[in-house]
Amino acid sequence: MSARIIDGKAFAAGLRQRIAAEVTRLKQAAGFTPGLAVVLVGEDPASQVYVRSKGKATLEVGMASFEHKLDVGTTQEALLALVDKLNRDPAVHGILVQLPLPKHIDEARVLATIVPEKDVDGFHVVNAGKLATGAKDAIVPCTPLGSLMLLKDTLGDLAGKSAVVVGRSNIVGKPMAQLLLKESCTVTVAHSRTRDLPAVVRQADIVVAAVGRAEMVKGDWIKPGATVIDVGINRVTGPDGKARLVGDVDYESALPVAGAITPVPGGVGPMTIACLLANTLIAACRAKGLAEPTL
Ligand code: GUN
């Protein structure tokens, strides 16, 4: 037996098409264009790649893209002033400040300055709190949201299933656990200090790996038939000396055991940007008092 491979790239392409159709409809019916502002401080190569892809994807669905590239030496005051300006700009419906920020800038302070209604990353404590308490208007972080979409598409109803999230970051692990709990899963959050991690993972119907450690979750940790969502994106050098991307799951050993699995690349990765566009569209509709589309 070999696992069904969950095609995140195809799912994300479909989602982006539905978003594009909705943007076209909004332009015609309501006469406005949703807009996303992305702020990058410094020249981290990975962040530059992410910001470029976000800008391109935004334009491709017909939204307005506002890119702000700031020098690595930008002061915290200057960055906060820019966020404040974007908060007040009616053409901007979503704001994303690319992380990590340079060391001299207080990340929490910057994230707290974005108005929650425009926080399309879902990192503001108000949005984290809304997600935890089940408020309908929470903006949900993009990677966990995309992971949940793939899970529901693969499994249908998740109620009663046992889910293990490996990783407890604010960006993925914690919101993922909240989303699974909302779907009535029995949720365990495991992490680097968890005792006998393989045994904990082995009892899960759903495994979400988000630890940032290349190929850590092995095939013999996985319950036969389980659904595996691999959030990791790790650059490693293969035996041939060439760089390649791998997830947090050892794909080769997991493939014969799992019921379904996301590949890296082409699994969760493409969902993150598609969900960012979905969050921006929803934020724009709310700002205009329009009904939220079902995507
Ligand atoms: N850096 C890595 N992933 C993310 C993300 O999802 N949002 C932001 N703002 N920065 C990131």
47 CA to middle of ligand 1, Å? 8
pTM, two decimal places: 0.97
Residue 1's pLDDT is what? 74
- Residue 282, phi then psi, degrees to nearest 5: -65, -40
Instruction: Evaluate: CB of 99 within 6 angstroms of ligand 1.
Output: yes
Q: Which of 9, 28, 44, 54 is catalytic?
A: 54
- Residue 50, phi then psi, degrees to nearest 5: -60, -45
* Residues whose CB is less than 8 angstroms from the CB of residue 12 and which lie 6 or more positions away in sequence, other chains included: 146, 270, 271, 273, 274
Q: Which two tokens stand for residue 78?
A: 């200057």
Contact call for residues 290 and 26 (beta carbons, < 8 A): yes
Contact call for residues 262 and 233 (beta carbons, < 8 A): no
Q: Quick one: which atom of ligand 1 is closest to the CA of 100?
A: 1
Chain centre distance of CA 198 = 25
What percent of the chain stands above pLDDT 70?
100
pLDDT at residue 288 greater than cutoff 80:
yes
Closest CA to 22 of 287, 286, 282: 282
Which tens digits make up the pLDDT trace of 35-78? Answer: 999 999 999 999 999 999 999 999 999 999 999 999 999 999 99
Residue 70's pLDDT is what? 98
257 CA to middle of ligand 1, Å? 31
Rounded distance between C-alpha atoms, residue 230 and residue 240, angstroms: 24
pLDDT at residue 30 greater than cutoff 80:
yes
For the chain, the average pLDDT equals 97
Which tens digits make up the pLDDT trace of 173-212? Answer: 999 999 999 999 999 999 989 999 999 999 999 999 999 9
Which tens digits make up the pLDDT trace of 85-138? Answer: 999 999 999 999 999 999 999 999 999 999 999 999 999 999 999 999 999 999
